[in-house]
Structure 1
Amino acid sequence: MEPKVKEGINGILILFYFLVGGIAVISEYLEDHFLTYISKPFLMPVLFFLYYLNSGKRNNVFILALFFNWIANIAFVAATKDTVYFGSLFFLLYRIAVVYTLVERITFPKMMPFLIGCIPFFFIYITVANLVNAEIENGVYLFWVNGVFMIFLGGFTLANYILNNNKVNTLLLISTLLFTFIQFIVTINLYYLTILIFRPISLAMFVVAQYLLYKAILSMDHKRMLYNNTFSGV
Protein backbone atom coordinates (compact mmCIF):
# COMPACT_ATOMS: atom_id res chain seq x y z
CA MET A 1 0.00 0.00 0.00
CA GLU A 2 1.26 3.48 -0.91
CA PRO A 3 2.50 5.39 2.17
CA LYS A 4 0.23 8.40 1.46
CA VAL A 5 -2.81 6.17 1.01
CA LYS A 6 -1.97 4.28 4.20
CA GLU A 7 -1.49 7.54 6.10
CA GLY A 8 -4.83 8.84 4.81
CA ILE A 9 -6.69 5.68 5.81
CA ASN A 10 -4.97 5.75 9.20
CA GLY A 11 -6.08 9.34 9.80
CA ILE A 12 -9.66 8.54 8.79
CA LEU A 13 -9.78 5.52 11.12
CA ILE A 14 -8.41 7.54 14.07
CA LEU A 15 -10.94 10.28 13.41
CA PHE A 16 -13.73 7.71 13.13
CA TYR A 17 -12.64 6.01 16.36
CA PHE A 18 -12.84 9.21 18.39
CA LEU A 19 -16.00 10.32 16.58
CA VAL A 20 -17.72 7.04 17.48
CA GLY A 21 -16.30 7.31 21.00
CA GLY A 22 -17.66 10.86 21.32
CA ILE A 23 -21.10 9.77 20.13
CA ALA A 24 -21.06 6.90 22.63
CA VAL A 25 -20.13 9.28 25.47
CA ILE A 26 -22.94 11.68 24.52
CA SER A 27 -25.41 8.80 24.26
CA GLU A 28 -24.45 7.68 27.78
CA TYR A 29 -25.03 11.18 29.11
CA LEU A 30 -28.40 11.44 27.34
CA GLU A 31 -29.24 7.85 28.36
CA ASP A 32 -30.05 7.15 24.71
CA HIS A 33 -29.71 3.35 24.64
CA PHE A 34 -30.34 3.08 20.90
CA LEU A 35 -27.50 5.50 20.14
CA THR A 36 -25.25 3.59 22.53
CA TYR A 37 -26.04 0.28 20.80
CA ILE A 38 -25.13 1.68 17.37
CA SER A 39 -21.93 3.43 18.49
CA LYS A 40 -20.11 1.67 21.33
CA PRO A 41 -19.82 -1.78 19.63
CA PHE A 42 -17.85 -0.15 16.77
CA LEU A 43 -14.96 0.97 18.98
CA MET A 44 -13.01 -2.29 19.09
CA PRO A 45 -13.48 -3.18 15.38
CA VAL A 46 -12.14 0.26 14.39
CA LEU A 47 -9.18 -0.19 16.72
CA PHE A 48 -8.58 -3.65 15.25
CA PHE A 49 -8.41 -2.21 11.71
CA LEU A 50 -6.07 0.52 12.94
CA TYR A 51 -3.80 -2.10 14.49
CA TYR A 52 -3.98 -4.38 11.44
CA LEU A 53 -3.10 -1.48 9.16
CA ASN A 54 -0.17 -0.12 11.15
CA SER A 55 1.53 -3.12 12.76
CA GLY A 56 4.19 -4.78 10.67
CA LYS A 57 4.52 -7.66 13.15
CA ARG A 58 1.02 -8.26 14.54
CA ASN A 59 0.49 -9.69 17.99
CA ASN A 60 -2.26 -12.33 17.83
CA VAL A 61 -2.79 -12.28 21.59
CA PHE A 62 -3.51 -8.54 21.48
CA ILE A 63 -5.96 -9.12 18.62
CA LEU A 64 -7.66 -11.75 20.79
CA ALA A 65 -7.71 -9.23 23.64
CA LEU A 66 -9.54 -6.74 21.42
CA PHE A 67 -12.11 -9.44 20.60
CA PHE A 68 -12.71 -10.16 24.31
CA ASN A 69 -13.03 -6.44 24.96
CA TRP A 70 -15.55 -6.13 22.13
CA ILE A 71 -17.74 -8.86 23.65
CA ALA A 72 -17.44 -7.22 27.08
CA ASN A 73 -18.47 -3.85 25.65
CA ILE A 74 -21.60 -5.31 24.10
CA ALA A 75 -22.50 -6.91 27.42
CA PHE A 76 -21.86 -3.68 29.35
CA VAL A 77 -24.25 -1.68 27.15
CA ALA A 78 -27.28 -3.14 28.93
CA ALA A 79 -25.64 -2.52 32.33
CA THR A 80 -27.80 -4.96 34.29
CA LYS A 81 -26.19 -7.06 37.01
CA ASP A 82 -26.37 -10.22 34.84
CA THR A 83 -24.86 -8.61 31.73
CA VAL A 84 -22.24 -6.82 33.82
CA TYR A 85 -21.25 -10.22 35.27
CA PHE A 86 -20.97 -11.67 31.75
CA GLY A 87 -19.08 -8.60 30.55
CA SER A 88 -16.76 -8.77 33.56
CA LEU A 89 -15.89 -12.37 32.64
CA PHE A 90 -14.84 -11.37 29.14
CA PHE A 91 -13.09 -8.26 30.44
CA LEU A 92 -11.10 -10.57 32.72
CA LEU A 93 -10.09 -12.61 29.67
CA TYR A 94 -9.14 -9.35 27.97
CA ARG A 95 -7.03 -8.29 30.96
CA ILE A 96 -5.29 -11.70 31.08
CA ALA A 97 -4.42 -11.41 27.38
CA VAL A 98 -3.07 -7.88 27.90
CA VAL A 99 -1.00 -8.94 30.92
CA TYR A 100 0.43 -11.86 28.92
CA THR A 101 1.30 -9.55 26.02
CA LEU A 102 3.09 -7.04 28.24
CA VAL A 103 4.96 -9.56 30.40
CA GLU A 104 6.06 -11.44 27.27
CA ARG A 105 7.47 -8.27 25.70
CA ILE A 106 8.68 -6.13 28.60
CA THR A 107 11.33 -7.12 31.12
CA PHE A 108 9.74 -7.80 34.49
CA PRO A 109 10.91 -5.23 37.09
CA LYS A 110 12.72 -6.22 40.27
CA MET A 111 10.47 -7.42 43.06
CA MET A 112 10.78 -4.38 45.34
CA PRO A 113 9.79 -1.75 42.72
CA PHE A 114 6.98 -4.06 41.60
CA LEU A 115 5.59 -4.42 45.14
CA ILE A 116 5.85 -0.67 45.73
CA GLY A 117 4.04 -0.08 42.43
CA CYS A 118 1.22 -2.39 43.53
CA ILE A 119 0.50 -0.40 46.72
CA PRO A 120 -1.63 2.47 45.31
CA PHE A 121 -3.65 0.08 43.13
CA PHE A 122 -4.16 -2.24 46.10
CA PHE A 123 -5.58 0.58 48.23
CA ILE A 124 -7.88 1.75 45.42
CA TYR A 125 -9.21 -1.77 44.97
CA ILE A 126 -9.66 -2.41 48.70
CA THR A 127 -11.62 0.85 48.98
CA VAL A 128 -13.98 -0.27 46.22
CA ALA A 129 -14.27 -3.76 47.71
CA ASN A 130 -15.24 -2.40 51.14
CA LEU A 131 -18.00 -0.28 49.60
CA VAL A 132 -19.60 -2.89 47.34
CA ASN A 133 -18.59 -6.32 48.63
CA ALA A 134 -22.01 -7.01 50.21
CA GLU A 135 -23.85 -6.09 46.99
CA ILE A 136 -21.90 -8.15 44.45
CA GLU A 137 -23.38 -11.51 45.49
CA ASN A 138 -22.59 -14.23 42.92
CA GLY A 139 -20.05 -12.07 41.11
CA VAL A 140 -17.79 -11.69 44.13
CA TYR A 141 -15.16 -14.22 43.00
CA LEU A 142 -14.94 -12.71 39.53
CA PHE A 143 -14.64 -9.28 41.15
CA TRP A 144 -11.69 -10.40 43.27
CA VAL A 145 -9.91 -12.13 40.39
CA ASN A 146 -10.30 -9.01 38.24
CA GLY A 147 -8.87 -7.04 41.13
CA VAL A 148 -5.79 -9.26 41.39
CA PHE A 149 -5.00 -8.71 37.72
CA MET A 150 -5.69 -4.99 38.04
CA ILE A 151 -3.25 -4.68 40.96
CA PHE A 152 -0.65 -6.81 39.15
CA LEU A 153 -0.91 -4.73 35.97
CA GLY A 154 -0.78 -1.52 37.98
CA GLY A 155 2.34 -2.59 39.87
CA PHE A 156 3.98 -3.81 36.67
CA THR A 157 3.37 -0.62 34.66
CA LEU A 158 4.16 1.79 37.51
CA ALA A 159 7.41 0.00 38.39
CA ASN A 160 8.54 -0.02 34.76
CA TYR A 161 7.69 3.67 34.41
CA ILE A 162 9.72 4.52 37.54
CA LEU A 163 12.70 2.51 36.31
CA ASN A 164 12.49 3.71 32.70
CA ASN A 165 9.99 6.44 31.77
CA ASN A 166 10.18 5.97 28.01
CA LYS A 167 7.26 6.42 25.60
CA VAL A 168 5.92 2.86 25.87
CA ASN A 169 6.01 2.76 29.67
CA THR A 170 4.40 6.21 29.89
CA LEU A 171 1.54 5.18 27.59
CA LEU A 172 1.04 1.94 29.51
CA LEU A 173 0.97 3.66 32.90
CA ILE A 174 -1.57 6.29 31.81
CA SER A 175 -3.72 3.60 30.20
CA THR A 176 -3.58 1.42 33.33
CA LEU A 177 -4.46 4.36 35.60
CA LEU A 178 -7.46 5.18 33.43
CA PHE A 179 -8.64 1.56 33.43
CA THR A 180 -8.27 1.46 37.21
CA PHE A 181 -10.41 4.57 37.69
CA ILE A 182 -12.94 3.17 35.20
CA GLN A 183 -13.37 0.05 37.32
CA PHE A 184 -13.68 2.23 40.42
CA ILE A 185 -16.36 4.48 38.86
CA VAL A 186 -18.35 1.69 37.16
CA THR A 187 -18.43 -0.50 40.28
CA ILE A 188 -19.44 2.37 42.55
CA ASN A 189 -22.11 3.49 40.07
CA LEU A 190 -23.58 0.00 39.72
CA TYR A 191 -23.52 -1.21 43.31
CA TYR A 192 -23.20 1.78 45.63
CA LEU A 193 -24.12 5.27 44.36
CA THR A 194 -25.76 5.90 40.98
CA ILE A 195 -24.80 9.25 39.46
CA LEU A 196 -25.68 10.09 35.85
CA ILE A 197 -22.33 11.64 34.96
CA PHE A 198 -20.35 8.56 36.04
CA ARG A 199 -21.14 6.50 32.94
CA PRO A 200 -20.13 9.08 30.29
CA ILE A 201 -16.97 9.90 32.27
CA SER A 202 -15.98 6.24 32.51
CA LEU A 203 -16.66 5.69 28.81
CA ALA A 204 -14.60 8.75 27.82
CA MET A 205 -11.71 7.41 29.90
CA PHE A 206 -12.16 3.98 28.30
CA VAL A 207 -11.90 5.42 24.77
CA VAL A 208 -8.65 7.20 25.64
CA ALA A 209 -7.21 4.32 27.69
CA GLN A 210 -7.77 1.76 24.97
CA TYR A 211 -6.25 4.01 22.32
CA LEU A 212 -3.15 4.61 24.47
CA LEU A 213 -2.79 0.86 25.00
CA TYR A 214 -3.02 0.32 21.24
CA LYS A 215 -0.30 2.93 20.69
CA ALA A 216 1.95 1.25 23.27
CA ILE A 217 1.50 -2.21 21.70
CA LEU A 218 2.11 -0.73 18.25
CA SER A 219 5.37 0.85 19.44
CA MET A 220 6.49 -2.49 20.87
CA ASP A 221 5.65 -4.23 17.58
CA HIS A 222 7.74 -1.72 15.63
CA LYS A 223 10.67 -2.11 18.02
CA ARG A 224 10.51 -5.90 17.76
CA MET A 225 10.34 -5.78 13.95
CA LEU A 226 13.33 -3.40 13.86
CA TYR A 227 15.26 -5.66 16.24
CA ASN A 228 14.51 -8.77 14.15
CA ASN A 229 15.46 -7.02 10.91
CA THR A 230 18.74 -5.78 12.42
CA PHE A 231 19.83 -9.19 13.63
CA SER A 232 18.68 -10.98 10.47
CA GLY A 233 20.77 -8.65 8.32
CA VAL A 234 17.77 -7.11 6.53
Structure 2
Amino acid sequence: MKRFLGKKIFRLFIIAYFTVAMIEIVAEYFNDKTLVTLFKPILIPLLIGYYFYKSRKRSFLFIVALVFSWIANIFFINDTINYIILGSVFFLIYRVIIIYLVIRMVKMPSKLPLLIGAIPFLFIYATTCFLTFEDFGENIFLFIIHGIFIIFLGGYSLGSYIVYSSKTNLILFLSTMLFALSQFVFVLKIYSEYVYFLHALAMLQFVVAQYLLTKFMHLKEKPKSKYEFANTINEL
Protein backbone atom coordinates (compact mmCIF):
# COMPACT_ATOMS: atom_id res chain seq x y z
CA MET A 1 0.00 0.00 0.00
CA LYS A 2 2.83 2.38 0.94
CA ARG A 3 4.67 1.59 -2.30
CA PHE A 4 1.47 2.16 -4.30
CA LEU A 5 0.98 5.57 -2.69
CA GLY A 6 4.63 6.42 -3.39
CA LYS A 7 4.09 5.67 -7.10
CA LYS A 8 0.99 7.84 -7.15
CA ILE A 9 2.83 10.71 -5.48
CA PHE A 10 5.90 10.72 -7.76
CA ARG A 11 3.62 10.55 -10.80
CA LEU A 12 1.75 13.58 -9.52
CA PHE A 13 5.07 15.40 -9.05
CA ILE A 14 6.24 14.69 -12.61
CA ILE A 15 2.85 15.63 -14.12
CA ALA A 16 2.94 18.87 -12.11
CA TYR A 17 6.57 19.46 -13.20
CA PHE A 18 5.80 19.26 -16.92
CA THR A 19 2.53 21.19 -16.52
CA VAL A 20 4.33 24.05 -14.78
CA ALA A 21 7.13 23.78 -17.34
CA MET A 22 4.66 24.24 -20.21
CA ILE A 23 3.19 27.33 -18.54
CA GLU A 24 6.69 28.69 -17.95
CA ILE A 25 7.75 28.09 -21.57
CA VAL A 26 4.62 29.84 -22.88
CA ALA A 27 5.21 32.70 -20.42
CA GLU A 28 8.80 33.08 -21.71
CA TYR A 29 7.53 33.14 -25.29
CA PHE A 30 5.02 35.91 -24.57
CA ASN A 31 7.40 37.67 -22.14
CA ASP A 32 4.83 37.50 -19.35
CA LYS A 33 6.98 38.44 -16.36
CA THR A 34 4.15 37.83 -13.88
CA LEU A 35 3.73 34.19 -14.93
CA VAL A 36 7.50 33.68 -15.09
CA THR A 37 7.88 35.03 -11.54
CA LEU A 38 5.05 32.80 -10.29
CA PHE A 39 5.90 29.52 -12.01
CA LYS A 40 9.67 29.42 -12.60
CA PRO A 41 10.54 29.09 -8.87
CA ILE A 42 8.21 26.05 -8.61
CA LEU A 43 9.99 23.91 -11.24
CA ILE A 44 13.00 22.62 -9.30
CA PRO A 45 11.10 21.93 -6.03
CA LEU A 46 8.69 19.75 -8.06
CA LEU A 47 11.65 17.89 -9.57
CA ILE A 48 13.14 17.39 -6.11
CA GLY A 49 9.82 15.96 -4.94
CA TYR A 50 9.73 13.61 -7.93
CA TYR A 51 13.29 12.44 -7.24
CA PHE A 52 12.61 12.00 -3.52
CA TYR A 53 9.62 9.71 -4.09
CA LYS A 54 11.00 7.97 -7.18
CA SER A 55 14.39 6.89 -5.81
CA ARG A 56 14.84 4.49 -2.95
CA LYS A 57 18.51 5.36 -2.51
CA ARG A 58 18.57 9.15 -2.51
CA SER A 59 21.70 11.22 -3.03
CA PHE A 60 21.87 14.15 -0.62
CA LEU A 61 24.49 15.79 -2.85
CA PHE A 62 22.19 15.64 -5.88
CA ILE A 63 19.41 17.35 -3.91
CA VAL A 64 21.92 20.03 -2.83
CA ALA A 65 22.90 20.47 -6.49
CA LEU A 66 19.26 20.94 -7.47
CA VAL A 67 18.87 23.55 -4.72
CA PHE A 68 21.79 25.52 -6.19
CA SER A 69 20.14 25.24 -9.63
CA TRP A 70 16.89 26.51 -8.09
CA ILE A 71 18.66 29.54 -6.56
CA ALA A 72 20.31 30.24 -9.93
CA ASN A 73 16.92 30.21 -11.64
CA ILE A 74 15.54 32.66 -9.08
CA PHE A 75 18.34 35.09 -9.97
CA PHE A 76 17.81 34.54 -13.70
CA ILE A 77 14.21 35.80 -13.43
CA ASN A 78 15.66 39.31 -13.15
CA ASP A 79 17.62 39.83 -16.38
CA THR A 80 19.93 42.59 -15.10
CA ILE A 81 23.65 41.84 -15.40
CA ASN A 82 24.33 41.59 -11.65
CA TYR A 83 21.58 39.01 -11.12
CA ILE A 84 22.70 37.05 -14.18
CA ILE A 85 26.26 36.89 -12.81
CA LEU A 86 25.01 35.74 -9.40
CA GLY A 87 22.83 33.12 -11.05
CA SER A 88 25.78 31.94 -13.14
CA VAL A 89 27.91 31.49 -10.01
CA PHE A 90 25.25 29.35 -8.32
CA PHE A 91 24.74 27.36 -11.51
CA LEU A 92 28.49 26.79 -11.70
CA ILE A 93 28.42 25.28 -8.19
CA TYR A 94 25.52 23.08 -9.31
CA ARG A 95 27.55 21.90 -12.31
CA VAL A 96 30.63 21.10 -10.20
CA ILE A 97 28.55 18.90 -7.89
CA ILE A 98 26.95 17.12 -10.87
CA ILE A 99 30.38 16.43 -12.40
CA TYR A 100 31.56 14.97 -9.09
CA LEU A 101 28.50 12.70 -8.91
CA VAL A 102 28.87 11.57 -12.53
CA ILE A 103 32.56 10.73 -12.11
CA ARG A 104 31.72 8.76 -8.98
CA MET A 105 28.87 6.84 -10.62
CA VAL A 106 30.19 6.33 -14.17
CA LYS A 107 33.65 4.81 -14.66
CA MET A 108 35.82 5.82 -17.62
CA PRO A 109 38.34 3.09 -18.61
CA SER A 110 40.71 5.52 -20.40
CA LYS A 111 41.10 9.18 -21.39
CA LEU A 112 40.70 8.60 -25.14
CA PRO A 113 36.84 8.31 -25.11
CA LEU A 114 36.74 11.47 -22.98
CA LEU A 115 38.83 13.39 -25.53
CA ILE A 116 36.78 12.12 -28.47
CA GLY A 117 33.50 12.86 -26.71
CA ALA A 118 34.59 16.41 -25.87
CA ILE A 119 35.04 17.41 -29.55
CA PRO A 120 31.39 18.36 -30.36
CA PHE A 121 31.03 20.25 -27.06
CA LEU A 122 34.32 22.06 -27.66
CA PHE A 123 33.04 23.10 -31.08
CA ILE A 124 29.78 24.45 -29.60
CA TYR A 125 31.54 26.53 -26.96
CA ALA A 126 34.38 27.72 -29.21
CA THR A 127 31.80 28.98 -31.72
CA THR A 128 29.79 30.64 -28.95
CA CYS A 129 32.85 32.38 -27.46
CA PHE A 130 33.90 33.60 -30.91
CA LEU A 131 30.46 35.11 -31.53
CA THR A 132 30.10 36.78 -28.12
CA PHE A 133 33.62 37.78 -27.07
CA GLU A 134 32.98 41.51 -27.46
CA ASP A 135 29.37 41.46 -26.21
CA PHE A 136 30.19 39.69 -22.93
CA GLY A 137 33.19 41.89 -22.11
CA GLU A 138 34.78 40.94 -18.78
CA ASN A 139 31.97 38.44 -18.11
CA ILE A 140 33.27 36.23 -20.93
CA PHE A 141 35.62 34.61 -18.39
CA LEU A 142 32.69 33.33 -16.34
CA PHE A 143 31.14 31.96 -19.52
CA ILE A 144 34.46 30.28 -20.42
CA ILE A 145 34.62 28.62 -16.98
CA HIS A 146 31.10 27.29 -17.52
CA GLY A 147 32.20 26.11 -20.94
CA ILE A 148 35.20 24.20 -19.57
CA PHE A 149 32.99 22.29 -17.13
CA ILE A 150 30.29 21.48 -19.69
CA ILE A 151 32.93 20.39 -22.24
CA PHE A 152 34.38 18.03 -19.65
CA LEU A 153 30.96 16.70 -18.63
CA GLY A 154 29.91 16.39 -22.27
CA GLY A 155 33.10 14.56 -23.17
CA TYR A 156 32.71 12.29 -20.17
CA SER A 157 29.06 11.47 -20.92
CA LEU A 158 29.57 10.90 -24.66
CA GLY A 159 32.80 8.98 -24.04
CA SER A 160 31.03 6.74 -21.53
CA TYR A 161 28.26 6.08 -24.05
CA ILE A 162 30.85 5.23 -26.73
CA VAL A 163 32.51 2.72 -24.38
CA TYR A 164 29.27 1.26 -23.03
CA SER A 165 26.04 2.06 -24.88
CA SER A 166 23.68 1.69 -21.94
CA LYS A 167 20.35 3.43 -21.42
CA THR A 168 21.71 5.40 -18.45
CA ASN A 169 24.75 6.65 -20.39
CA LEU A 170 22.51 7.69 -23.30
CA ILE A 171 20.23 9.64 -20.95
CA LEU A 172 23.24 11.36 -19.37
CA PHE A 173 24.62 12.31 -22.79
CA LEU A 174 21.26 13.68 -24.00
CA SER A 175 20.90 15.71 -20.80
CA THR A 176 24.38 17.21 -21.17
CA MET A 177 23.87 17.96 -24.85
CA LEU A 178 20.61 19.81 -24.09
CA PHE A 179 22.33 21.86 -21.38
CA ALA A 180 25.08 22.80 -23.85
CA LEU A 181 22.58 23.69 -26.59
CA SER A 182 20.56 25.81 -24.15
CA GLN A 183 23.70 27.89 -23.52
CA PHE A 184 24.19 28.26 -27.27
CA VAL A 185 20.56 29.35 -27.74
CA PHE A 186 20.99 31.84 -24.89
CA VAL A 187 23.85 33.47 -26.79
CA LEU A 188 21.92 33.49 -30.09
CA LYS A 189 19.49 35.95 -28.50
CA ILE A 190 22.13 38.65 -28.91
CA TYR A 191 21.94 38.36 -32.70
CA SER A 192 18.30 37.43 -33.24
CA GLU A 193 15.11 39.44 -33.37
CA TYR A 194 13.21 36.39 -32.08
CA VAL A 195 14.42 36.90 -28.52
CA TYR A 196 11.37 35.59 -26.69
CA PHE A 197 11.10 32.53 -28.91
CA LEU A 198 14.74 31.71 -28.05
CA HIS A 199 13.97 32.31 -24.36
CA ALA A 200 11.21 29.71 -24.60
CA LEU A 201 13.41 27.28 -26.55
CA ALA A 202 16.24 27.56 -24.00
CA MET A 203 13.75 26.93 -21.18
CA LEU A 204 12.36 23.86 -22.99
CA GLN A 205 15.88 22.46 -23.34
CA PHE A 206 16.63 23.21 -19.68
CA VAL A 207 13.43 21.54 -18.43
CA VAL A 208 14.02 18.34 -20.42
CA ALA A 209 17.75 18.29 -19.54
CA GLN A 210 17.01 18.55 -15.80
CA TYR A 211 14.43 15.79 -16.00
CA LEU A 212 16.79 13.49 -17.93
CA LEU A 213 19.56 14.12 -15.41
CA THR A 214 17.18 13.22 -12.57
CA LYS A 215 16.14 10.11 -14.51
CA PHE A 216 19.82 9.19 -14.89
CA MET A 217 20.34 9.47 -11.13
CA HIS A 218 17.30 7.29 -10.46
CA LEU A 219 18.43 4.58 -12.89
CA LYS A 220 21.95 4.58 -11.46
CA GLU A 221 20.59 4.20 -7.95
CA LYS A 222 18.32 1.26 -8.83
CA PRO A 223 19.54 -2.22 -7.80
CA LYS A 224 21.25 -3.84 -10.79
CA SER A 225 20.24 -7.12 -12.33
CA LYS A 226 22.89 -9.80 -12.78
CA TYR A 227 23.18 -8.93 -16.49
CA GLU A 228 23.64 -5.22 -15.79
CA PHE A 229 26.13 -5.97 -13.05
CA ALA A 230 28.18 -8.17 -15.39
CA ASN A 231 28.21 -5.44 -18.04
CA THR A 232 29.30 -2.90 -15.46
CA ILE A 233 32.23 -5.12 -14.48
CA ASN A 234 33.21 -5.52 -18.12
CA GLU A 235 32.98 -1.76 -18.60
CA LEU A 236 35.53 -1.27 -15.83
What do the CA deviations read for 1:123-151 (whole angstroms, capped 9, x no partner)?
11000000111121232221111010010
Give the structure 2 partner of residue 137 of structure 1. Answer: 137
The answer on 1:193 being equivalent to 2:192 is yes
Deviates more, 1:151-160 or 1:48-57: 48-57
Length-normalised TM-score, structure 1: 0.92
Q: CA deviation at 1:187?
A: 2.2
Q: Decide whether aligned partners of structure 1 residues 194 and 153 sit closer, same or farther in structure 2, where only a CA change above 3 A counts.
A: farther
Unaligned runs of 5+ in 2: 230-236
The answer on 1:104 being equivalent to 2:104 is yes
Q: Structure 1 segments of 4 or more deviating over 6 A?
A: none
Q: Decide whether aligned partners of structure 1 residues 138 and 200 sit closer, same or farther in structure 2, where only a CA change above 3 A counts.
A: same
Length-normalised TM-score, structure 2: 0.91
Give the structure 2 partner of residue 83 of structure 1. Answer: 83
Contact 1:113 1:159 in 2 (8 A): yes
User: Which letter maps to 2:210?
Assistant: Q
Give percent identity, aligned residues only. 37
Give the structure 1 partner of residue 234 of structure 2. Answer: none
Contact 2:11 2:50 in 1 (8 A): no
Q: CA deviation at 1:194?
A: 4.8
Give the structure 2 partner of residue 219 of structure 1. Answer: 219
Contact 1:109 1:159 in 2 (8 A): no
- C-alpha separation in 2, matches of 1:44 and 1:194: 29
- C-alpha separation in 1, matches of 2:173 and 2:90: 22
- Structural mapping, 1:1-234, within 5 Å: 2-189=2-189, 191-195=190-194, 196-223=196-223
Q: CA deviation at 1:223?
A: 3.4
RMSD in angstroms over aligned alpha carbons?
A: 1.7
Unaligned runs of 5+ in 1: 228-234
Q: CA deviation at 1:169?
A: 0.3
Q: CA deviation at 1:108?
A: 2.1
